[in-house]
A = this chain, B = another copy of it.
């Protein structure tokens, strides 16, 4: 057998119970079903989800690591309280990480990645024209996630997922005004162009400005 390099045989990843519990709880927190300050009992949640406390415990620790839950040593785990300040901080962290991700993506993108980015961008354009806000939000997220995936950096991807979840808790519907839609589309186009061109500095600067602007918009909304 020659020592040749092969791709790692990507196999479908049957999600574990802990993974599913994590996703379920995170969604509940983001959606507001589990309100901030509410207690997250291992046994109680386990009973609701129909699993044993063990996977729930793992999910809680993960949420805690992502800042969406807080644990008092021997008392319990609670849904993290969120303040406007904290939310804006998360927005800044998100902005910095998205910028770095765009820069790395501009360095590493392959022809396949470029094709994927073009496809996502077309989908964003289509959704922008349609006026369907939910679809637009979905394809926008998909575009960002495509950029994340191109970095191939597990820690970066994970951090971005965490901060995005947290950040989106109370910024669900920012993309409403026509101005926002057209501005966002133009920015996305420019970012993708810079990544395709392999220009890390420009890609990072544009992405940072793009996401930073959304923080400002959120701040204005929240201050009202």
Taking Cβ atoms with an 8 Å cutoff, the residues of A that contact B are: 11, 13-14, 58, 61-62, 65-67, 70, 73, 86, 89-90, 92-93, 96-97, 99-100, 103-104, 151, 153-156, 158-159, 162-163, 166
| Complex alpha-carbon distance, A222 and B70, angstroms | 39
Q: Is there an interface contact between A65 and B158, defined as CB atoms closer than 8 Å?
A: yes
Which of chain B's residues have a CB closer than 8 A to the CB of A11?
A: 73
Of the candidates B73, B86, B151, B155, the one whose C-beta lies within 8 Å of that of A66 is B155
Of the candidates B65, B93, B151, the one whose C-beta lies within 8 Å of that of A65 is B65
Which of chain B's residues have a CB closer than 8 A to the CB of A155?
A: 65-67, 90, 93, 162-163, 166
Q: Is there an interface contact between B93 and A100, defined as CB atoms closer than 8 Å?
A: yes
| Complex alpha-carbon distance, A92 and B67, angstroms | 22
Q: Is there an interface contact between B89 and A153, defined as CB atoms closer than 8 Å?
A: yes
| Complex alpha-carbon distance, A156 and B94, angstroms | 10
Q: Is there an interface contact between A104 and B92, defined as CB atoms closer than 8 Å?
A: yes
Which B residue sits closest to A163, measured CB to CB?
Answer: B155
Which B residue sits closest to A11, measured CB to CB?
Answer: B73
Given contacts A65-B65, A154-B70, A155-B162, contact A92 B96 (CB under 8 A): no
CB distance from A197 to the nearest CB of B (A): 19
| Complex alpha-carbon distance, A153 and B73, angstroms | 18
Q: Which of A13, A67, A163 has the most CB of B within 10 A?
A: A67
Which of chain B's residues have a CB closer than 8 A to the CB of A73?
A: 11, 13-14
Q: Can you show 9 pairs from A to B with CB atoms below 8 A apart?
A: A58-B61, A61-B62, A67-B158, A70-B154, A89-B104, A96-B96, A96-B97, A96-B100, A155-B163
Which of chain B's residues have a CB closer than 8 A to the CB of A58?
A: 58, 61
Which B residue sits closest to A80, measured CB to CB?
Answer: B154
| Complex alpha-carbon distance, A11 and B72, angstroms | 10
Q: Which of A13, A100, A163 has the most CB of B within 10 A?
A: A100
